[in-house]
Amino acid sequence: MDMERGIAYIRIRDGKVARTVEHDAEPNVWLDVDSEGLLIGIEILGPIDTVRVADAAERYLGPEASRDDAKAISRAVEAVERLLEPA
């Protein structure tokens, strides 16, 4: 996390990034996915809408993900947003 520049990376799980997907509704968000299209991390490059980011991330969690996994991602994104807010 670089609070001065307002950027952060949330690692969801270990793995090799095969591609980075641009968030279609959030220009400051990029999603790193593996070769199977499963989420590895979320890159935040500025102000965001946490609900849209969490919703997009859920699309890449895969069939084995639980509702708790989705909630944990939402909480992590919200926490990062609070930390990056200007004082």
Residue range 12-60, pLDDT digits in tens: 889 999 999 988 777 888 989 999 988 888 898 877 776 677 777 777 7
Provide the phi-psi class of 54: left if phi over 0, else alpha when psi is between -120 and 50, else beta: alpha
Which is more confident, 33 or 80? 33
What's the whole-number mean pLDDT along residues 71-84? 76
Rounded Cα distance between 73 and 37, Å, is 17
pTM of the entire structure?
0.75
